[in-house]
Amino acid sequence: MDFQGDACTKTEAKKGAKTKKQKRMNECKDVEAETSVQADSVEEEAAFPPNFSVSEIKNKQRRHFMFMKLKQEKRKVAVVDTQMFIRIYDETTVNPEDEEVAFDEGTDEFSSYFNRLTNPKVLITTSDRPRGRTVRFCEQLSTAVPDSHVYYRRGLALKRVIPQCISRGFTFLIVINEDRKVPNGMVLCHLPNGPTAHFKVSSVRLRKEMKRRGKDPTEHSPEVILNNFTTRLGHSIGRMFAALFPHDPQFIGRQVATFHNQRDFIFFRFHRYIFKNEKKVGIQELGPRFTLKLRSLQKGTFDSKYGEYEWVHKRHEMDSSRRKFHL
């Protein structure tokens, strides 16, 4: 189930060409179709004697053919067994017609954004004394998020920064934490009194490390795509990401920011697209790319000591099953 907020649009043509993962999924689906057809044709032929292996066939062509068939069958089995198809059913999965959840979401902390009462204004900062990589990451992130400002931290306490941000009309505070010269954590705090999410950041790729990248992003507001946020917790996080960007995307800019959730990892990508014709889309990756994993969601603004946590990742209790995911 794909989540749609106010600023999101999805085109079917784009979806097929979007990410490498989805391309591979499509390939696998084609392979499945082929093997099913081949399996049907083989069943009509004679059965093989027992204790027979493929390498005993003397005819080279036929041996090669049987080997490729075996390989594809193995691949088909492997694809079916992969965990993205067998996820334990989560009882907190949101049913779109559920009135209670709709009321809950309609009156939560993001309601003022989704009712178009406030516009997002983002403050990006880091932990104290950031190194070059983190500084460049923050600058690139601020070009990806419109109406964002980067400030140097100067060793200030976040609890003192937050009231000042509120008085200056900021709606979001992003703090990129750095460890050993590399960004590794992100605190995303919705400002008036909203939830604070703490993520683990990994796999950060800056612009110059991207292959085949396009020119720098322009000032146009991007479209936002939120994939696979199905559970109630996923919904809250998805709404949080959606509230970072302005309500109306400027389609002239042809830019899109994607938050794709897979197995509790959120992949952020920033692309520019162009429609070559009705069905074909070309995409260019701009902007930074990073992976997030939610560590905790706290109700209220940043207060790690005395705040109440809505969800905390507890490794030993929650990571015991390989098929259970929470977002």
Partner 1 sequence: MASKSQSCSIWVGSETGILKGVSLSKQQAFNFCEMSCLSRDQEVCVLEWGDPLESEVLVGCANGTVKAFSTEKGIFTESKECGDATQGKFTGLAMMDGSLVTCAESGILKVWKEGCTDTIEINVGNGVCRMRQNPSRRSQVATGGKENPLKVWDLERPDKAIFTAKNVKNDWLDLRVPVWVRDIGFIPDSDKIVTCTGYHQMRVYDPSSPQRRPVLEAEFGEYPLTALSLPASQGTVVVGNTHGQLAVLDLRKGLVRGCLKGLAGGVRGLQCHPTLPLVASCGLDRFLRVHSLEDRSLLHKVYLKSRLNCVLLSSRNLELSGADLSGEVEEVKQEGEEDGETDEVWDAMETVTDKTNKRATEKAAEENAVKGPKKRRKVAKK
Binding site for partner 1 (CB under 8 A): 88, 91-93, 95, 97-101, 103-104, 107, 232, 299, 305-312, 314, 317-318, 321-323
Distance in angstroms (rounded) separating the CA atoms of residues 250 and 222? 6
What six digits make up the tokens of 182? 């590399």
- Tell the smallest beta-carbon distance from residue 236 to partner 1 (Å): 11
Strand-pair partners of 199: 186, 294
- Tell the smallest beta-carbon distance from residue 104 to partner 1 (Å): 5
Looking at beta carbons only, is 7 or 327 nearer to partner 1?
Answer: 327
Looking at beta carbons only, is 12 or 100 nearer to partner 1?
Answer: 100
Looking at beta carbons only, is 12 or 317 nearer to partner 1?
Answer: 317
The residue written with tokens 């917790």 in the block is 233
Distance in angstroms (rounded) separating the CA atoms of residues 294 and 137? 19
- Tell the smallest beta-carbon distance from residue 178 to partner 1 (Å): 24
- Tell the smallest beta-carbon distance from residue 92 to partner 1 (Å): 6
Distance of CA 162 to the CA centre of its chain: 27
Looking at beta carbons only, is 104 or 139 nearer to partner 1?
Answer: 104
- Tell the smallest beta-carbon distance from residue 319 to partner 1 (Å): 12
- Tell the smallest beta-carbon distance from residue 91 to partner 1 (Å): 5
Contact present, 140 and 287 (Cβ < 8 Å): yes
Looking at beta carbons only, is 139 or 310 nearer to partner 1?
Answer: 310
User: What phi and psi, each to the nearest 5 degrees, are found at residue 148?
Assistant: -120, 150
Q: What angle do helix axes 60-81 and 20-43 make, rounded to 10 degrees?
A: 130
- Tell the smallest beta-carbon distance from residue 73 to partner 1 (Å): 16
**Coil/strand/helix, residue 64:** helix
Distance in angstroms (rounded) separating the CA atoms of residues 196 and 301? 6
Looking at beta carbons only, is 220 or 326 nearer to partner 1?
Answer: 326
**Coil/strand/helix, residue 56:** helix
Contact present, 146 and 223 (Cβ < 8 Å): no
- Tell the smallest beta-carbon distance from residue 311 to partner 1 (Å): 5
Report strand pairing: 255-262 vs 265-275: antiparallel
Strand-pair partners of 175: 125, 187
Indicate the residue type of 8: C
Looking at beta carbons only, is 127 or 231 nearer to partner 1?
Answer: 231
What six digits make up the tokens of 99? 């009135």
- Tell the smallest beta-carbon distance from residue 253 to partner 1 (Å): 37
Looking at beta carbons only, is 182 or 312 nearer to partner 1?
Answer: 312
Burial of 69 (0-12, 13-18, 19+ CB in 10 A): middle
Looking at beta carbons only, is 82 or 203 nearer to partner 1?
Answer: 82
**Coil/strand/helix, residue 60:** helix
Distance in angstroms (rounded) separating the CA atoms of residues 69 and 319? 37
